[in-house]
Chains A and B, each alone.
Chain A
Amino acid sequence: MIRYTLLSLLLVMTSALLAQQTPAPPQKQAIMITGATAHLGNGQRSENSIITFENGKITTVGDSRSNQPAPGKNFRIIDATGKHLYPGFIAPSTNLGITEIDAVRATRDFREVGNINPNVRALVAYNTDSRVSPTVRSNGILLIQVTPQGGWFSGQSSVVQLDAWNWEDAVVKADDGVHLNWPRYFGRSGWWANPGTISKNKDYDQHRREIESFLLEAQAYLRSEPSMPNLKFEAMRGVLEGDRKLYVHADGLKEMTNVIDLCDRLEITPVIVGGRDAWRMADVLKEKSIPVILRKVQSLPGREDNDIDQPFKTARLLHEAGVDFCFSMGGAWEQRNLSFQAGQAVAYGLDKEAAIAALSGNTARIMGIDDRTGSLEVGKAATLFISAGDALDMRTCKVEQAFIDGREIDLDNKQKALSRKFRKKYADPER
């Protein structure tokens, strides 16, 4: 009896394990995808395309009528006629993988104690075995920037790919930048039980100065030869020396203006994350080449007087003004809907290829990984996916195949498995 119980327990565990996807082995055979409408992720589109890749890198991008693959090569050929091919979409600024179930404290690993934590690294907490991330990648989101939250300096993000055995395996770019949550100029007063009004934040100036002095002291420290290292200052080295990004989360005009002035003083170029009001100062952002990771498109206007579609059209306004921007989506599991943020912007006037670039090529450029990934270009990572229809529209989006560095990944996930399990139950009257 005990043996039987143990056996069934083992069976249960095995079936649970099956719900987890196994990382794909490295690409062995060259692959050719023909006939698809290829959205290159750089603003270009190639109808009736041909794309080849081997050893994880793209080797051909072109029109299938004019480009014939090198003869003699043993390609695995995928006919994608009538379908759409996209570079893997990249989700910036997410806590996917460092939270599993938000309401369960044991699974929350994205917020450290204190306000100044530039030294903490999301990468080491990143869980490659999350049950959530397979539901995200099966919608074509293949890379994410796993990002800590909270405080002023919440820590360092890393760019990872979503098909890995462990966090070292997953790295696309480790510790790509430090995230700074700029205080709000206008904030909500009162507390949860007695909400006040949205009014000027009395602490704004003090908090701003504390952040400013931390950065200035870090800069001075880095010019000196300290006898004893200060971990927090050391963590700013990459940012202040220009080879790591400073992601500043800010939405309002005054906040962004303060951020830009401070960064000018520090002689660095920030990345604005959020940028709700960025369209109102798009000319400044363009002039200073400050990119924007735009907050969720499908959100409510910040104020009741605003145009009711303001968040829907902000991306178009930034694009028209020539600001470098990409899309983002708050939260973890919600990343599966990232591409629809782009679709919504297209519905409100953004050029479709520009929208796709803002899910891929722009995102890679903003995070400093465009030398290796983000768009369908020769020499870049073969991280891409095929959808039966327009992937920006839920009516037509059907992700059929996806590749990360040329490896064809398993698009199954826990949710699909559960669906099959119960469909099977209902199909079989015996059950």
Chain B
Amino acid sequence: MKKITTLFFVLCCVGMLSAQQTFPRNGVYDQREGHYAFTNATIHPQPGRQLLQATLIIREGRIEAMGTGISIPDGAVVIDLEGRHVYPSFIDLYAEYGVPAAASIKPRDRGKPQPLSNKRGAYSWNEALRSEMATQDHFKVDKKVAAEWRQLGFGALLTHQMSGISRGAASLVLTGEEREHESLIRGRAAHVLSFRKGKSTQSYPSSLMGCIALLRQTYLDAEWYRRSESSEERNLSLAAWNDLQSLPQIFAVDDKQEALRAARLGQEFGINYILKGKGDEYQRISELQATGSAFILPLNFPKAFEVEDPYDALQADLADLKHWELAPENPARLAAAGIDFSLTVYGHKKKKDFLTHLRQAVKAGLSADAALAALTINPARLLGVEEEVGSLGVGKRANFFVCDKLFFTEKATLYQHWVNGKAYPIKDWNDRLTTGSYELRVDTQSFVLRVSGNPEKPTVKLAYPDSSTIKAKVKMAQGLLTLSFVPKGQSGKIALSGSAVDGQWSGKGLLADGTWVSWQAERTGAATDTSGKKDNKPGPKVEGTVTYPFMAYGWTEPPGAEEVLIQNATVWTNEAGGILTDTDVLFKNGKVAKVGQDLKAGKARIVDATGKHLTCGIIDEHSHIAISRGVNEGTQASSAEVRIGDVVNAEDINIYRQLAGGVTTAQLLHGSANPIGGQSALIKMRWGMEAEAMKFEGADGFIKFALGENVKQTNWGDGYVLRFPQTRMGVEQTFIDYFTRAVDYGEKVRSGVPYRRDLDLEAVLEIVESRRFITCHSYQQGEINMLMKVAERFGFRVNTFTHILEGYKIADKMREHGAGGSSFSDWWAYKYEVIDAIPHNGPIMHDQGVLVAFNSDDAEMARRLNQEAAKAVMYADMSEEEAWKFVTLNPAKLLHIDDRVGSIKVGKDADLVLWSDHPLSIYARAEKTWVDGRLYYDQERDRELRSEIQSERARLIQKMIDDESPGGKSGPPQRKFHHHYHCDDYDDEMR
């Protein structure tokens, strides 16, 4: 036995098998076959299969035979794996190994815009599109890091440099220490993409929606490039992009909502991305399952916060507390939902924490087979390399590791990792002591030893007849035992050294007096062993549930479409009937069914509204809530290609808060950083639904325009004087230029000749053709007049001027043009262009026949737009009924949705608000808010939710305090910073 081990280690140290064919040789050939037979092993060739007392034969880096009852061929070195397990090596699809760290091409100058890529050569205009990046050109074996991977069980990695939106071709490499020539399995194994521009210092894209638009345009450009056979330009990035399309496409996202966004983007182009997720997928499992995407899941479960201090504990968000408890269940929940996934080490600061978390995931319900599949056959299948790696079978690569226990359910120790048929020792199997009782004889003295615990780190004690014990120091290394102790009644130490094989120990030692002696020990009996039990200890009970959205005020059961009869309300119809007192409203199936007096309830639930007011829901024409990662793509004069609809954030608490302010519909607008902004999204406040389900069905498309100081970059800092336009003069020319080009583009489209699809111009063309409608940020009358004149020249109308604080100066012209105005009630004096803003603006425009709305542009104001409407009464004596329409019917008309919402009328959507008081009064509180007849906000339910939030927080904080996870705690609570966007937030959210 000992001989074989020695031989085995010698073999490891010399070059082996298939030496590189093309390389010159120095010295005498020493080519070996690497022919081994592993016997008596428990082999786990693939999930669901297990071979007991089996033999594995490998030769020249491949598996030659595997099974039971196989005869050992001559020439094979036999390695007895009695009591040990053999698993196929793991594969990680999301690794950055053997490639240099990404770096910016030039340092970023934060004070200045960078309109184009700094990269030299005929590459993409955008620095974040790095499809030409070939990992294989840069790959270099890194022995130190490779060893770390092998110790975790990984034999193959899909590696790439993690920077950019397109990151080029990733390579599948082995974690052995052979040359690159042997380690590279597939040089071009997958295309990796992301929603982060990484080390690119270029301004565009500065928002998530800009990133999505860039990807969309790139797919179109690449197709155009392919068809035009690069006759118009050479573009090495696009050429590389096209070459990448036949590979598996991996998309790295930062959370579950981004996963859905990436999946939807892929569907537009017939691509089913493999999604590298965040670990929060369980929070939107059914929608993610419906995408049919495969996932790469990280296991970097969050650590507990330090929440012993109750002041600090206040700082933690319920969403984070809940995620801390439920994150380990993510893989199990995805497995139960039938989602195909692989696992990645990515996200761990210390790689070895991966194994702790892996076993935690198994403890949380992931089966060992599913875990094994997620680390072997699933990733191999996704890359199409299942004939090479990912399982053990004849003809496949000899990539496997040897461990002492079941890998996923017990704390197994790895002894060897074989990569490409080459052995990499991790631990010596012989560096362990068999537990039990021993009789030790040192020279003339005799002792009883008890060896217990982990065989690799055993506890050794001298046992005496009086049951007293003395602990001995013990160490096993390099196949040698070192043992020392001070026997009872003696003052000097006995120090022993020697070998210890299978319960037979012997060697030489030194007594306290310097005498050199021989010693032997023999195992006399089994141990009363208590080790291994700890592994089976169940973890703390998980009581948390998934709520929608996954945060405070989320629901577990979505509100259903109710049938309700509201009785005896003062009903603000916004119709010819006006304000009706003592009136009943019946709604069912999401629509208003009847309005009248003494209506019959039938099956309907009755709500007594005596003394209360019922209105339709408030419509916020100008909102920036519920938007992920950036409200402005203001880096270019036009960003018509970007779409807020791509980045609706269904998890913004402001949706719920605004429901409590009676808001049921909101137009989410791009900011005002550039003359032609992005496309708007119209949502209903369907709290808890996924982003797509919140969108107002069938609504017309709108787009944000802007004028004045923001688009001139007046307040951006001294470095921002490069982008055209910088004056109101230039703003006009920007519009004329874009509309002229859009008309020309339209002719090209209609002509039937091939053309490059340009999503920017396509959106502008829709405007010119009155298929998309403008909401234009505007302040001063001159520029307002200008845009109307430009529009008239191109034969269309500006639908809405928003802010429009000088609309009162030009209301007659607006009426003639047909533009509406969506304004603030009383904002002014915050910048130079609003020095003439007045609170009478809305009422004056209204009196001149302009369709007028009041909007929020602000997450806080949006929850009291009823009060803003009342300011039209306060400052300008408007009728209350007409003022109320400023926040309901008029914005509905401006948004072309007044056939569905904006008044209480039979057949219209049951988007209704029950107020405690006159709805224009500051004392009015929304008691119930229905959207589509579903009760999304209810004051009573809100009270229950508050106490549920309190008790759930308290439970989780207790649990965190008690947490004794090996990794420790992460420190005082942190929470995500949630941006409350306004028009002029230009933050670069993409880095």
Contact = CB atoms under 8 A, between A and B. Distances in A.
A73 interface: no
A347 B924 contact: yes
Contact of A426 (B552, B844, B991): B844
A149 B653 CA distance: 31
B860 A300 contact: yes
B987 A195 contact: yes
Given A103-B715, A199-B974, A346 B923 contact: yes
A214 interface: no
Nearest to B952: A305
B953 A305 contact: yes
Interface string A182-225: 00001010101111111110000000000000000000000000
A84 B654 CA distance: 36
A303 B980 CA distance: 12
B864 A298 contact: yes
Nearest to A96: B829
Interface string B807-827: 011011000000000000011
A195 B829 contact: no
Residue from A192, A340, A347 whose CB has the most chain B CB atoms within 10 Å: A347
Contacts of A419: 808, 838, 840, 844, 876
A300 B657 contact: yes
15 contacts: A102-B831, A103-B832, A132-B829, A198-B975, A301-B657, A303-B315, A305-B317, A309-B660, A333-B830, A340-B922, A346-B922, A395-B921, A415-B839, A419-B840, A419-B844
Contacts of B836: 418
In the A-B complex, the 7 residue pairs with the smallest Cβ-Cβ separation, listed nearest first, are: A103-B831, A199-B974, A419-B840, A343-B922, A415-B838, A304-B653, A197-B974
Contacts of B539: none
Given A305-B318, A308-B660, A394 B874 contact: yes
Nearest to A341: B922
A393 B110 contact: no
Contact of A347 (B317, B923, B971): B923
A398 interface: yes
B942 A308 contact: yes
A321 interface: no
Sort chain B's interface into a size bin: 35 or more
Interface string A398-423: 10000000000000000110110011
Contact of A422 (B809, B925, B987): B809
B832 A300 contact: no
Contacts of B533: none
B829 A332 contact: yes
Q: Is the interface of B mostly helix, strand, loop or mixed?
A: loop
Interface of A: 100-104, 131-132, 135, 186, 188, 190, 192-200, 252-254, 298-301, 303-305, 307-309, 332-333, 336-337, 340, 343-344, 346-348, 392-398, 415-416, 418-419, 422-423, 426
B831 A303 contact: no
Interface of B: 110, 311-312, 314-315, 317-319, 551-553, 653-654, 656-657, 660, 709, 714-715, 808-809, 811-812, 826-832, 835-840, 844, 847-848, 859-861, 864, 867, 870-871, 873-874, 876, 880, 918, 920-925, 942, 946, 949, 953, 971-980, 987-988, 991
B488 to A, nearest CB: 54
B826 A336 contact: yes
Given A303-B317, A308-B657, A308-B660, A422 B808 contact: yes
A393 B830 contact: no
Nearest to A281: B311
Contact of B991 (A188, A194, A254, A343): A194
A307 B987 contact: no
A304 B552 contact: yes
Contacts of B867: 340, 394
Contacts of A394: 867, 870-871, 873-874, 920, 922
B811 A395 contact: no
Contact of A196 (B315, B812, B977, B988): B977
Contacts of A346: 922-923
A197 B159 CA distance: 29
B831 A298 contact: no
A280 B465 CA distance: 65
Given A419-B876, A426-B811, A195 B922 contact: no
A303 B975 contact: yes
Given A198-B974, A300-B860, A304-B653, A254 B311 contact: yes
Given A193-B991, A300-B859, A418-B836, A104 B972 contact: no
A193 B110 contact: yes
Nearest to A139: B874
A190 B974 CA distance: 13
Given A199-B974, A305-B318, A393 B826 contact: no
A206 B319 CA distance: 32
A100 B831 CA distance: 9
Residue from A104, A308, A392, A422 whose CB has the most chain B CB atoms within 10 Å: A308
A292 to B, nearest CB: 18
A237 B838 CA distance: 44
A178 to B, nearest CB: 27
A324 to B, nearest CB: 24
Contacts of B920: 394-395
A399 B866 CA distance: 21
A102 B830 contact: yes
A196 B864 CA distance: 30
A188 to B, nearest CB: 5
A271 to B, nearest CB: 22
Contacts of A196: 977
Contacts of A101: 829-832, 835
Contacts of B839: 415
B311 A193 contact: no
A426 B922 contact: no
B922 A104 contact: no
A342 B749 CA distance: 60
A132 B709 CA distance: 21
A332 B848 CA distance: 31
B840 A415 contact: yes
Residue from A103, A199, A332 whose CB has the most chain B CB atoms within 10 Å: A103
A188 B918 contact: no
B978 A186 contact: no
Nearest to A197: B974
Nearest to A254: B311
B663 to A, nearest CB: 13
A103 B710 CA distance: 11
Contacts of A348: 925
Given A343-B923, A398-B874, A333 B860 contact: no
B345 to A, nearest CB: 23
Given A103-B715, A395-B918, A419-B844, A193 B811 contact: no
B792 to A, nearest CB: 22
Contacts of A298: 860-861, 864
A395 B830 contact: no
A294 to B, nearest CB: 16
A333 B829 contact: yes
Contact of A305 (B552, B918, B971): B552
Contacts of A131: 829, 835
B864 A300 contact: no
A316 to B, nearest CB: 14
B426 to A, nearest CB: 38
Contacts of A252: 311
Nearest to B987: A192
Nearest to A426: B848
